[in-house]
Amino acid sequence: MSKSKLSKLGNPAVDDLPASSALLAEAMVRSALTPGARRLLKARAKAILFLTPSPSASLAIENYLDGLPDAPRVQAITELRKRSSASGWTNSNHLAPLLMGQSVVLVTHDKAMILDDELAALDGAILVAMPRAHHLRGVIKRVTGENATGLGQHVVDKLEFTDIVNAIRPGQKASACVANLKRAAKARTRDPSINPAPLLSSMALTEEVKSWTDDMLVAMKSAQSSHACDLPFSLLGGAPGTGKTTIAASLAKSAGWDFLETSVGKWFETSDGNLGGVSQASGAFFTELAKSKRPVVGLIDEIDAIPNRASLAPRDLQWWTPVVTLVLLHIDKLKKLGKPILLVGASNFPERLDGALVRPGRLERRVQFNLPNQSERYAMLKRFLAGTMSDSEVSIIADLTAGATPARLKGLAKAALDSATNEGRVVQFSNLRELIVGNDKPEDLRGVAIHEAGHAVVALELGFEIETASILKSAIIDGHVKIKPDKTPLNRLGVERLAVVMLAGRAADVSLGNGADAGAAADLDSVNRLLLDGLLGFGLFGTLQTRHTIDIKDIDGSGQNLSRWVGSMLQRLERRAEEIIEMRQKDVRKLADALIDERVMDGDRVRAILGPNETPQLSLVSNAPKDGPFEGGTNG
In this predicted model, what pLDDT tens digit does every residue of 499-533 receive, in sequence order?
999 999 999 999 998 887 655 666 787 788 788 77
pLDDT value for 532 = 74
Residue 407 scores a pLDDT above 90: no
pLDDT value for 325 = 93
pLDDT category of residue 192 using cuts at 50, 70 and 90: low
DSSP alpha helix (H) spans, 424-549: 429-437, 442-461, 492-512, 518-532
pLDDT value for 189 = 67
Distances (CA, A) of 44 to 13, 211, 398, 579: 24, 61, 78, 101
DSSP alpha helix (H) spans, 170-274: 174-188, 207-224, 244-255, 264-269
Q: Verify that 365 and 378 share a domain, yes or no.
A: no
pLDDT value for 366 = 95
Asked whether residue 194 is domain-assigned, the answer is no
Q: Which residue has the higher pLDDT, 627 or 137?
A: 137
Which tens digits make up the pLDDT trace of 43-66?
888 999 999 988 889 999 999 998
- 28: Cβ contacts below 8 Å, ≥ 6 apart: 52, 57, 61, 128, 129, 130, 131, 135
Q: Verify that 215 and 334 share a domain, yes or no.
A: yes
Asked whether residue 489 is domain-assigned, the answer is yes
Which tens digits make up the pLDDT trace of 439-486?
667 777 888 899 999 999 999 999 899 888 888 654 445 677 888 776
Q: Which domain holds residue 59?
A: 3-127
Residue 398 scores a pLDDT above 70: yes
Q: Verify that 335 and 251 share a domain, yes or no.
A: yes
Q: Which of 11-15, 185-189, 357-361, 427-431 has the lowest mean pLDDT?
A: 11-15
Q: Among 103, 127, 151, which residue terminates a domain? A: 127
Distances (CA, A) of 558 to 538, 555, 571, 627, 632: 22, 8, 21, 15, 13
Q: Verify that 296 and 382 share a domain, yes or no.
A: no
What CATH code is carried by the domain that includes residue 280?
Answer: 3.40.50.300
Tell me what the mean pLDDT of segment 86-90 comes to: 40
Asked whether residue 193 is domain-assigned, the answer is no
Q: Verify that 380 and 360 share a domain, yes or no.
A: no
Asked whether residue 195 is domain-assigned, the answer is no
CB contact at 8 A, 73 and 61: no
pLDDT value for 244 = 92
Q: Among 437, 465, 491, which residue terminates a domain? A: 437
Please give the Cα distance from 118 to 98 (Å, whole number): 11
Asked whether residue 508 is domain-assigned, the answer is yes
Q: Which residue has the higher pLDDT, 7 or 73?
A: 73
Q: Verify that 492 and 404 share a domain, yes or no.
A: no
Burial class (CB in 10 A: 0-12, 13-18, 19+), 439: exposed
Asked whether residue 196 is domain-assigned, the answer is no
What CATH code is carried by the domain that includes residue 525?
Answer: 1.20.58.760
CA angle 36, 39, 41 (to 5 degrees): 110
pLDDT value for 30 = 92
Which tens digits make up the pLDDT trace of 585-601?
999 999 999 988 877 78
> Three-state secondary structure along 172-188?
CCHHHHHHHHHHHHHHH
pLDDT value for 632 = 29
Q: Verify that 470 and 336 share a domain, yes or no.
A: no
pLDDT value for 5 = 37
| Number of domains comprising the chain | 5
Tell me what the mean pLDDT of segment 214-243 comes to: 87
Residue 102 one-letter amino acid = Q
Please give the Cα distance from 233 to 335 (Å, whole number): 9
pLDDT value for 541 = 60
pLDDT category of residue 218 using cuts at 50, 70 and 90: very high
pLDDT value for 105 = 92
Which residues are 76's β-sheet partners? Answer: 107
Q: Verify that 9 and 102 share a domain, yes or no.
A: yes
pLDDT value for 334 = 93
Percentage of the chain modeled with pLDDT above 70: 81
Q: Which of 324-338, 431-445, 475-489, 603-617 has the lowest mean pLDDT?
A: 475-489
Residue 165 scores a pLDDT above 70: yes
Q: Verify that 316 and 433 share a domain, yes or no.
A: no
Distances (CA, A) of 591 to 392, 475, 483: 20, 20, 16
Residue 264 scores a pLDDT above 80: yes
Residue 377 scores a pLDDT above 50: yes
Q: Verify that 484 and 426 share a domain, yes or no.
A: no
Rg (CA), the chain: 36
Asked whether residue 635 is domain-assigned, the answer is no
Percentage of the chain modeled with pLDDT above 90: 35
Q: Verify that 121 and 139 share a domain, yes or no.
A: no
Of 189-203, 309-323, 575-589, which one has max mean pLDDT?
Answer: 575-589
545: how many CB neighbours lie within 10 A of its CB?
A: 12
Please give the Cα distance from 633 to 636 (Å, whole number): 9
pLDDT value for 348 = 86
Helix axes 518-532, 442-461, angle to 10 degrees: 20
Asked whether residue 16 is domain-assigned, the answer is yes
pLDDT category of residue 613 using cuts at 50, 70 and 90: low
Q: Among 393, 409, 437, which residue terminates a domain? A: 437
Q: Verify that 319 and 222 share a domain, yes or no.
A: yes
What does the mean pLDDT of the chain come to?
A: 81
Which tens digits make up the pLDDT trace of 6-38?
334 444 443 443 478 999 999 999 999 988 888
Q: Which residue has the higher pLDDT, 98 or 141?
A: 141
Q: Which of 255-264, 420-429, 530-539 has the lowest mean pLDDT?
A: 530-539
